[in-house]
C-alpha cells in the first residue's frame, strides 16, 4: 500500500493534497482589500457556508456552477493534481473574491492577521467535528491510509491530542478567537478555550 504524503509544520499536520510549498504560498498570499475569507477547522460546515456565501455575494445563479466550485471559491493551501488553490485565487476575476482556508492564524495569510481583512470564522461543536472527520478519513483513500486501521476510539484519542489533519481543534479555535477578541473593542475577556 502506498503511504500518503504526510508532513507537519509545527503542530499542524497535513496529509494528501498539500505540499509545504502550497501551505507557505497560502500564508504569503496577497489578496485584495475586497476579498472575503472563510476560515474553518475541517468538517465544521465549510461547504454549507461556502454555498451560502456564493449565493449571497454572487447570486443564486452562481450556485448552479458546481463543476467550477474550486474556481468560484478557491481553497488557498490545497494542491489537487497540480491545481494550486492560491493560483486559482490569483486567476479569479471576481470581485470580491471568496477564499477558503483551514489554516490557523499563525499560518494563515498574513493580511488576515495584520490587516484585518473581511473574514468569517466558523466554529462547530468538537464532538460533531471529530465524528465527521473520522467519517471523512474513512471515505478519502489517502486519508484512510493515514488512519492505519484505527477504530473510532483510537481516532478520537488522536483528535483529542491534535494528531489529525490541521492539528488540534482546541488550539485552532483558541488562536482564532484570541485574534478576534484581541482586535475587538467589544470584548475585554479571555475566550473560554
Q: How confident is the model at residue 97, as a pLDDT?
A: 94
Express the helix, strand and coil content of the chain in percent, nearest 5 each.
45, 15, 40
Looking at residue 2, the DSSP 8-state letter turns out to be: P
Question: How many of the other CB atoms lie within 10 Å of CB of 6?
Answer: 14
Burial class (CB in 10 A: 0-12, 13-18, 19+), 173: buried
Domains and CATH numbers, the chain: 6-124+166-181 (3.40.50.300)
Instruction: Say if residues 81 and 142 touch (Cβ distance below 8 Å).
Output: no
Name the nearest CA neighbour of 134 among 100, 164, 104. 164
- Per-10-residue mean pLDDT, the chain, length 193: 74 93 94 94 96 92 79 93 91 91 94 85 96 95 87 96 95 88 53 42
**CA atoms of 171 and 134, how far apart (whole Å):** 19
> CB–CB of 122/132 below 8 Å?
no
pLDDT at 182: 63
Query: Which pLDDT does position 191 carry in this prediction?
Result: 39
Q: Known catalytic residues?
A: 102
Give the pLDDT of residue 10: 94
Q: Which residue has the cell 490569483?
A: 90
pLDDT at res. 183 = 59
pLDDT for 82: 86
Taking the C-alpha atoms of residue 151 and residue 70, their distance in angstroms, rounded to an integer, is 32
Q: Which has the closest alpha carbon to 109: 187, 70, 164, 118?
A: 118
Amino acid at each position: 500500500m502506498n503511504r500518503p504524503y504526510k508532513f507537519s509544520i509545527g503542530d499542524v499536520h497535513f496529509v494528501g493534497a498539500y505540499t509545504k510549498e502550497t501551505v507557505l504560498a497560502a500564508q504569503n498570499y496577497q489578496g485584495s482589500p475586497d476579498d472575503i475569507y472563510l476560515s474553518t477547522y475541517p468538517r465544521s460546515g465549510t461547504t454549507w457556508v461556502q454555498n451560502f456565501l456564493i449565493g449571497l455575494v454572487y447570486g443564486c445563479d452562481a450556485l448552479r456552477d458546481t463543476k467550477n466550485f474550486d474556481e468560484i471559491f478557491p481553497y488557498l493551501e490545497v494542491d489537487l493534481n497540480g491545481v494550486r488553490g492560491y493560483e486559482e485565487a490569483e486567476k479569479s476575476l471576481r470581485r470580491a473574491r471568496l477564499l477558503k482556508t483551514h489554516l490557523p492564524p499563525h499560518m494563515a495569510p498574513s493580511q488576515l492577521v495584520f490587516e484585518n481583512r473581511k473574514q468569517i470564522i466558523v466554529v462547530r461543536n468538537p464532538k460533531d467535528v471529530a465524528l465527521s472527520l473520522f467519517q471523512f478519513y474513512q471515505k478519502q483513500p489517502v486519508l484512510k491510509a493515514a488512519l492505519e486501521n484505527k477504530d473510532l476510539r483510537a481516532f478520537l484519542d488522536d483528535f483529542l491530542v491534535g494528531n489529525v489533519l490541521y492539528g488540534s481543534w482546541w488550539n485552532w479555535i483558541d488562536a482564532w478567537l484570541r485574534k478576534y477578541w484581541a482586535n475587538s473593542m467589544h470584548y475585554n475577556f479571555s475566550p473560554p478555550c
